Amino acid sequence: MIKATHIVRSFGEGDLAVTVLKGISLFIDSGEFVAIIGPSGAGKSTLMYQLSLLDEPSSGEVELDGVKTSGLSQAEKTSFRLQELGYVFQDYALLPDLTAVENIALPMLMQGMRKQDALVKAQKALLRIDMGEKANSLPSQLSGGQQQRVSIARAIAHEPHIVFADEPTANLDSENGQRVMESFLALNKEGQTIVMVTHEAEYAKHAKRIIAMRDGLIVSDEKRA
Amino acid sequence: MKRFRTIAQEYLLSIRVGWFLARRQIMRSSKGTTALIIFIMALTFLNLVVVSGLLVGLISGAAQQFQESYAGEVIVTSEQGRTYIENSPALLGFIASHPRVHTFSARYMKGVQVLGTLSDLPQKDKKINQIGIRMVGISPSAEDSVTHFSHLVMKGQPLSDGDEGYALIGANMIRKYSSFGDVDIPGLELLSDVDVGSRVRMSMSDDAGGTIQKEFIIKGIVKSKVDEISTRMFITDKEFRRLLPVNQTQIQEIAIRTDKSYAPTLVAEMKTFMGNNIARIQTSDDAIPSFLRDVETTMGVLGNALSSIALVVASITIFIVIFINAVTRRKFIGIMKGIGISPVAIQFSYVIQAFFYGIIGSGIGLVVTFGFLKPYFAANPINFPFSDGILVATFSGAMVRIGILLVVTLIAGYVPAKLIVRKNTLDSILGR
């Protein structure tokens, strides 16, 4: 569950201050698949950074699974992100020195899981996305689409409550983009909460709820059947 | 207590994850870069151990030669102002019967004049080819067992126990062989035109005020970097006793070989045995001239100063390597923090890398030092004017230096990692 209350995010000070988010409030329930859309500069990525604890709002409150995050220290936020959240970045963001299976296992190791158990679980996550044979490949040996699927596997393998995806299809061709969306749909079907930022309408239509933004404000919030 | 346990567990987990990351970063980084960093660390270790070891070794080489070629582990000499060791026979008996004494050599001594040119009378305007020298009576076999004296003969033959009319002379007293033979130093007298086979005339005063003269054939030239060898003339002890009305009560030096660790005990035992009889009984370490000790200390300080510079260079090298590594991976550090990897684990990964470079470099340096350099310098000492320089390096000393190097390396690895890791997570991810 995500509850944002009057989120404001400004950059700079005084006359040079730019307010990117202008008091956004929203509620996302567990199990929802939400797409945040809007033109470039609308503030959709900035909103996602606030909701996913990668950034701190200038004012307002973000509540995740009943925890008010404004009172958390940086270390507590890091721990919260590890335990409760998963991330899929636009440029895949896999660690270049780790193989696919090691990239997926890393958050689980940090959770305290034994290395062997983490690697087995990571291998299973790869099999789920039909990438079992690429387990020991380095990111540089994978295509963009394959890297993004590994990134998704990393985001979900440690069983987070919420997965955030920032423009996950931006660097992919339509075929790979479609496969990524299918992965998200399958996850959501299993009850995974997903918040995805995208500017591509054809991918947004897969979500069950579409929040449209413009100039730092939500201009529409539409649930789909 | 519970909080402490939780913190300890978190740190252990961070070390485990840091190790996981560091191992893969090292394994998958450029082999050439890794080899270069390790090479630099090995050079730093060598700089720490070998440079100071060689500086100290120049002096230690002199001390070692003083012991091996002249003094043994314990040296007994007559006190200043005395002409011989009091109660020598009893002392020789004590030494000969002592179970921990391996061997010993007693020496007689007397200041004599040696004339080098016997055939011609000296011309008016020319100095007489004559020098003052200390003549030493030795038992060649006993001396050889203590100092390997025969090995010091650079030209000609060593003395034998039954030799009569033959002498060995120190190279530093002959112009042809002396290091100072090519310069005129006021007061320094050297024999000219004397070599192996030359006939020289020795003259000395006896106790009755008369003069004793005898001609000797130079059987060999002895050369050592220990002045006590290279500035003396040696004949057999039997001949010495025949020339002078001396007997075993008038011995002036006794060099004794025993275990080095036992030398101080033997000195104490001999002092107790000698009681009120006056003699100077010292370990070879104590008998070494004090200026050598001072030079050794100075060399040690100089070596430590150079080592400190090497440490600073090593720490800066590691700092730069880790800093550049961390800066170029700033985005990935941000991503790791973003997905919940603790900053401590990320810092540990860099500290472990620095530790790896330090330990492998030191290990290679250790192998090179003790497997190659130390044996090499022992077999091929550095030819220094007053000593044969060796490499002084003890394993325990090297371990201490490795410890210092690793501590410096760890700090130099931690600081840049901390600087980069503490940057804002989102800024790192977005490259701002």
- Predicted pLDDT of residue B100: 94
The residue type found at B258 is T
- Predicted pLDDT of residue B148: 92
Q: Are residues B423 and B359 in the same domain?
A: yes
Taking CB atoms and an 8 Å limit, are A54 and B338 in contact across chains? yes
Q: Which of B27, B335, B425 sits opposite A93 (nearest CB)?
A: B335
- Predicted pLDDT of residue B128: 80
Q: Are residues B222 and B322 in the same domain?
A: no
Taking CB atoms and an 8 Å limit, are B340 and A78 in contact across chains? yes
| Sequence-ordered list of residues with C-beta below 8 angstroms from that of B108, at least 6 positions apart, any chain | B136, B137, B138, B237, B240, B241, B244, B246, B250, B251, B252
Taking CB atoms and an 8 Å limit, are A109 and B17 in contact across chains? yes
- Predicted pLDDT of residue B375: 93
Shortest distance between the Cα of B23 and any Cα of chain A, in A, equals 10
Is the Cα dihedral A175, A176, A177, A180 positive or negative? positive
In this structure, is residue B272 part of a structural domain? yes
In this structure, is residue B401 part of a structural domain? yes
Q: Which of B13, B332, B341 sits opposite A112 (nearest CB)?
A: B13
CATH number at residue A120: 3.40.50.300
Taking CB atoms and an 8 Å limit, are B342 and A79 in contact across chains? yes
Among chain A residues, the shortest Cα distance to B332 is held by A95
Q: Which of B13, B16, B339 sits opposite A87 (nearest CB)?
A: B339
- Predicted pLDDT of residue B249: 67
Domain boundary among the residues B230, B255, B278 is at B278
Instruction: Return the number of CB contacts < 8 Å for A and B.
Output: 72
Among chain A residues, the shortest Cα distance to B9 is held by A112
Q: Which domain holds residue B112?
A: 79-278
Q: Are residues B175 and B53 in the same domain?
A: no
Q: Are residues B168 and B37 in the same domain?
A: no
H helices then E strands: how many in chain B? 15, 12
In this structure, is residue B358 part of a structural domain? yes
Q: Are residues B23 and B155 in the same domain?
A: no
Q: Which domain holds residue A202?
A: 2-223
Shortest distance between the Cα of A4 and any Cα of chain B, in A, equals 19
- Contact list in B for residue A80 (CB cut-off 8 A) is 340
Q: Are residues B268 and B346 in the same domain?
A: no
Q: Are residues B309 and B251 in the same domain?
A: no
Q: For residues A129 and A180, what is the distance between their CA atoms, to the nearest angstrom?
A: 9
Q: Are residues B131 and B211 in the same domain?
A: yes
Shortest distance between the Cα of A206 and any Cα of chain B, in A, equals 25
In this structure, is residue B345 part of a structural domain? yes
Taking CB atoms and an 8 Å limit, are A49 and B426 in contact across chains? yes
Between B330-338 and B290-328, two packed helices, what is the crossing angle to 10 degrees?
70
- Contact list in B for residue A49 (CB cut-off 8 A) is 426
Q: For residues B146 and B143, what is the distance between their CA atoms, to the nearest angstrom?
A: 5
Our count of domains for chain A comes to: 1
Q: Are residues B38 and B143 in the same domain?
A: no
In this structure, is residue B385 part of a structural domain? yes
In this structure, is residue B205 part of a structural domain? yes
- Predicted pLDDT of residue B50: 87
Q: Which of B24, B339, B341 sits opposite A97 (nearest CB)?
A: B24
Taking CB atoms and an 8 Å limit, are B426 and A54 in contact across chains? yes
- Predicted pLDDT of residue B122: 58
Q: Are residues B254 and B321 in the same domain?
A: no
- Contact list in B for residue A102 (CB cut-off 8 A) is 20, 24
Among chain B residues, the shortest Cα distance to A85 is held by B339
Taking CB atoms and an 8 Å limit, are B24 and A55 in contact across chains? no
Burial class (CB in 10 A: 0-12, 13-18, 19+), B143: buried
- Predicted pLDDT of residue A225: 67
- Predicted pLDDT of residue A179: 84
- Contact list in B for residue A55 (CB cut-off 8 A) is 426
- Predicted pLDDT of residue A27: 94
Interface of B with A (CB under 8 A): 13, 16-17, 20-21, 24-25, 27-29, 331-332, 335-343, 345, 425-426, 429
Interface of A with B (CB under 8 A): 49, 54-55, 75, 78-83, 85-87, 89, 93, 95-98, 102, 106-107, 109-110, 112, 115, 138, 154-155
Taking CB atoms and an 8 Å limit, are B16 and A109 in contact across chains? yes
Query: What does the pLDDT look like over A12-57, one tens digit per residue?
Result: 888 888 999 999 999 999 999 999 999 988 999 999 999 999 999 9
Our count of domains for chain B comes to: 2
The conformation of residue A225, written as its DSSP 8-state character, comes to: -
Burial class (CB in 10 A: 0-12, 13-18, 19+), B277: middle
In this structure, is residue B1 part of a structural domain? no
- Contact list in A for residue B335 (CB cut-off 8 A) is 89, 93, 95
Shortest distance between the Cα of B14 and any Cα of chain A, in A, equals 7
In this structure, is residue B73 part of a structural domain? no
Nearest to B365 by CA among B286, B307, B293, B424: B307
Q: Are residues B22 and B45 in the same domain?
A: yes
Q: Which two tokens stand for residue B419?
A: 């600087």
- Ramachandran bin of B431, using left for φ above 0, alpha for ψ from -120 to 50, beta for the remaining angles: left
Nearest to A125 by CA among A160, A98, A141, A101: A101
| Sequence-ordered list of residues with C-beta below 8 angstroms from that of B142, at least 6 positions apart, any chain | B103, B104, B105, B106
- Predicted pLDDT of residue A53: 93
Taking CB atoms and an 8 Å limit, are B340 and A55 in contact across chains? no
- Contact list in A for residue B425 (CB cut-off 8 A) is 54
Consecutive 10-residue averages of pLDDT for chain B (432 residues): 79 93 90 88 86 83 87 90 83 92 93 80 69 92 93 93 92 85 73 88 82 91 89 92 73 93 94 82 88 82 83 82 85 92 94 92 94 92 80 88 88 89 89 80
Q: Are residues B50 and B84 in the same domain?
A: no
Query: What does the pLDDT look like over A164-178, one tens digit per residue?
Result: 999 888 887 888 888
